[in-house]
Amino acid sequence: MRAAIRNRISRRSYLQTPIAAELQEDIRAGVDGLNRESGLAFAFAEDAGKAFTSMRKSYGMFSGVRSVIVLKGAADLPDLAEKLGYYGEQLMLDLTDMGLGTCWVGGTFDRGQFAIPNGETMLCVITVGHVAEQSTKEKLIRHALSRKRKPVSQRLRGYETAPAWVLAAMEAVRLAPSAVNRQKPVFTYDGGTVTAAVDASRAMDWIDLGIAKLHFAEAAGGRFTFGQDGRFLKE
């Protein structure tokens, strides 16, 4: 399993230390590469802290935020929300490898601080920056969420007949971030084929599906097709 999958945790308290210019170049290069691959329009915003200063918007959940990755794409792009989750999580793992703290943020920020071009949709952002030791609040949140992670047997249909490589990849799925810890995406193993689906009631559910698919693909080696019941293609 990729080390970043095990090491990544949601960080909500950031240091005021700016990201060095060289590291910013690496981030922008990674963003540009994923945009070319996916057709999305991710953007790195180095000075976006104002989006998190309003208590009315952020509810005091974040502190010290300076930079974010704006996750957006053409409004008519097929499977937009799922692709934002899939490629956004890929970028998040890369940022973790760079030694930076990150967190998915879907609602607790001021969207009005971002100028989104006509024809594009922004669904969420990823906060990114330097972090110190975990705060007491972060430790409590992580402990509470870890205790509520569903076992693989509840996330994988066909669990009883699944081979070891599928079960190992599902452990990576268990470690995937999920909006409000709902863990809604469900995988199916049937006759050598793995598919993934979600009972979606809002855009964040599709984002969660993309995130979960990416974790499975990273652990198993391969990629998923997008959409409901998307199929895993092993390398």
Q: Is beta strand 120-129 parallel, antiparallel or unpaired with respect to 67-74?
A: antiparallel
Single-letter code of the amino acid located at 12: R
Q: Which fold has domain 3-134?
A: NADH Oxidase (3.40.109)
Would the CATH topology of 3-134 be identical to that of 147-234? yes
pLDDT tens across the length of the chain (235 residues):
899 999 898 898 899 899 999 999 999 999 999 999 999 999 999 999 899 986 555 445 788 999 999 999 999 999 999 999 999 999 999 999 999 999 999 888 889 999 999 999 999 999 999 998 776 666 666 656 666 789 999 999 999 999 999 999 999 999 999 887 789 999 999 999 999 999 999 999 999 999 999 999 999 999 999 999 999 999 8
Q: For 12, how many CA atoms within 13 A lie in the half-sphere containing its CB? A: 18
Q: Cβ(159)–Cβ(134) under 8 Å?
A: no
pTM, full prediction: 0.93
CB-CB neighbours of 78 under 10 Å? 10
What ranges do the domains of the chain cover? 3-134, 147-234
pLDDT of 59: 45
Q: Which CATH class is domain 147-234?
A: alpha beta
CA distance 145 to 97: 23
| Cα 82 to Cα 122: distance, rounded to the nearest angstrom | 13
